[in-house]
Structure 1
């Protein structure tokens, strides 16, 4: 692809971008949010028409633009994050449907459907029950069905749009085994992502986009973490362990033998003022269930919680708030924000009672002053506090969630996956915010499934498995590879 440009209302989404994908390679496309990744893959899919002058060559055939039919006939398949599967149809039917539609046959047999599906699954060395409804499968197996559907059509290029965003470590390992199998069969993969550890594990070459421009294509062996971050953000960001000392006189939070049937058991740890504790483990390890119990969303059956040395039963969110505990949920879109409301209203929602006048009405001056203060303090990038929060980038949305809880002046802040779905530059800004909060004496519990993240940005790390704490380690004493082994 050469001279690929696209503008919207005078704004250049892509500016003279070029990219080449070799047969049988894993090519990673990376860049911050708004860099043009989605626009580029939609042009490849034929969904978006590029500006005049574009040159697209596939198997020696030249195009100035592609239609969805052109793209499919040339063996290109995109697996979007929503997977685009039929939940009320079986595994076999979902895998075979595209090939059957292309064949134009008027009648089909169950035997043929099963034959197509079985062959596709054999190609990627995976076994699934063909008669299972896709809607009954976990997300990792649904993704396998989507990949198998592409394989069944004999695709030569499969584009995966952030395929690991909803997967745990074991499922990611399984996905990468499948990708390597596809690669060995001569199928090319365009892998769109932003988790650097995954990119360095799976990529052969990497193309970096920034502000709609290509910063070049690089062999993965030519790159380092620091170099990739610098290319994506335009800044040399430091990567170093968090070695700041924190006061250790009196614990801020003590958790003793906290248990909930079928979810977690005998959880014990302490949190000190100014300390960041990372919590990690595979999906299903009980991480979210445990931390949500500390906020009263999922009250424990037994055990004790002490705040500042005082026994503090937490049976509800109200109990947690009274104890100075606040919680930023994993799913900010449905649990953390009112997406259609303004930044201003989202920030003040947790303290609006403090902003009422004698008539019980919100004082507009106080509302504006309070929300503007947090926008400034957390560097939320927006032209106006009146802007609907849905129009912000993922990183700025996350800062709004953090702001609404900081407005309550908490002593303990729980962050469940605070950097999920945000690019590397926004991640670094969020990490800086977390460190600054700890520097001001907050105790922070930080949940993440990224080993690199918890090692770099925590003082101590709680490792959970099957609902139990298997080990608590000091981040200075463990490498990312060691932590991954402990998690597995």
Structure 2
């Protein structure tokens, strides 16, 4: 099959920092090609060069359908049929589905909107990928999975020949991931090239024909996906080997920190009872809509239950607000760290201290600079956050370090119970390993931890017990060292 795009000898420097070093890449029409690497490996820089946002250093070659370009700009890249779907999707939440899909045809000079043509363009794009969405619904009211469909339809409306999907599964459940993989296979059949960027390595092997691995700005190699597994890829990406074992720790004699009895919120979850002991990591998994997050939010005072009881260290709680939950010693790390966990434009130090500002103020209601710096530095060191300056905006950090900032923010409150909702979403393999180390260290200090994830390996290898939720009910429990991943997956899918 003929190559749609060829990159030869592509390099990029930012001052004295080499972001890409002599990278070659070829993409064939109608293939699924995965691009993998740790944060900082050069993936984003390469994508920006392909999409025309950045120009490479002189000497590299960009060839699209046989025509050579010294560099691209976004207009030329789009005209060549290149579309990028970023992790944040870059949609207009206040506009409708049809308006978002057809937006490209209305950019540029002012013009009167032809609403009939706009809706026809959107309908044709949705029909092309088999999407069934209400064209008049506002995008802000859609699920993450349906927003992603809108972004893909927008690419189809722009006559895409190459679609780059940057972390497309980061916020999706396993069921939604399966639907996306089917959609990508359909785009392939229509001759569209897909570049799939993902930290979830099991998906890479499932969907790709070829895999290109980057490390420290250089190309490690290009490999047939059928010859790869997640362990080989992780080693190629990092130069290290990762091997996890199930925990043999027995927490049954430790004090019960959280006790939930017959907790129900009508329409969301029903009759949930569980205990979590000091130093115990309890995994909670299940498909989308199983009630996991709704239950967790009730424990954090943001989703009041209809009936049942919550006890923390034996004390009954009637939580009405998250502020009350925090005061009682409950911390919650949301799966959406970018929108709910961090203030991206604010300094790293401010994000860490936001939960304990009232405890750091002096007699006139101000936080002394020395206290602010000392407290922030303590948590930066404690959680090994790679930050050259605590006053830098938190958006300047990698995904793994951003997640460590979120953990630091909550650890500063000295929680008794820590709820982690998909804590490694969008984080590369090495950063995941670092987060798991932090979680294990917290448990070793006696913190009770509820680890929520739809990634079976995550809960299987990093929990002492795993609970399965389906249809709003707890339907089973497994102790990992007495079970298997396959058995746990079967229970989730039953």
**Same-fold status (TM-score > 0.5):** yes
Question: Aligned pair in 2 of structure 1 residues 73, 460: CA closer, same or farther (>3 Å)?
Answer: same
What residue in structure 2 maps to residue 49 of structure 1?
55
Question: Aligned pair in 2 of structure 1 residues 367, 133: CA closer, same or farther (>3 Å)?
Answer: closer
Aligned pairs for 1:31-430 within 5 A: 31-85=37-91, 91-92=97-98, 94-95=100-101, 98=104, 116-130=121-135, 132=137, 134=139, 136-357=141-362, 361-430=366-435
Q: What's the Cα RMSD here?
A: 2.9
Residues paired across the two proteins, number? 486
Distance in 1 separating the partners of 2:488 and 2:459: 9
Distance in 2 separating the partners of 1:344 and 1:486: 43
The yes-or-no answer on 1:8 pairing with 2:14 is yes
Question: Aligned pair in 2 of structure 1 residues 114, 365: CA closer, same or farther (>3 Å)?
Answer: closer
- Calculate the TM-score normalised by the size of structure 2: 0.88
Question: Aligned pair in 2 of structure 1 residues 142, 392: CA closer, same or farther (>3 Å)?
Answer: closer
Post-superposition offset of 1:141: 2.4
Post-superposition offset of 1:271: 0.6
Unpaired stretches in structure 2, ≥5 consecutive residues: 1-6
Post-superposition offset of 1:444: 0.5
SS at match of 2:26: coil
SS at match of 1:437: helix
Post-superposition offset of 1:261: 2.8
Q: Is this contact kept in 2: 1:226–1:239, CA < 8 A? A: no
Post-superposition offset of 1:234: 2.6
Distance in 2 separating the partners of 1:95 and 1:319: 43
SS at match of 1:200: helix
Q: Is this contact kept in 1: 2:478–2:488, CA < 8 A? A: no
SS at match of 2:219: strand
Distance in 2 separating the partners of 1:83 and 1:126: 17
Distance in 2 separating the partners of 1:55 and 1:208: 20
Q: Is this contact kept in 2: 1:197–1:452, CA < 8 A? A: no
Q: Deviations over 1:84-127 (max 9, x none)?
A: 4455665456545657989x9x9997776666555544443444
What residue in structure 2 maps to residue 466 of structure 1?
471
Deviates more, 1:126-135 or 1:472-481: 126-135
Question: Aligned pair in 2 of structure 1 residues 114, 375: CA closer, same or farther (>3 Å)?
Answer: closer
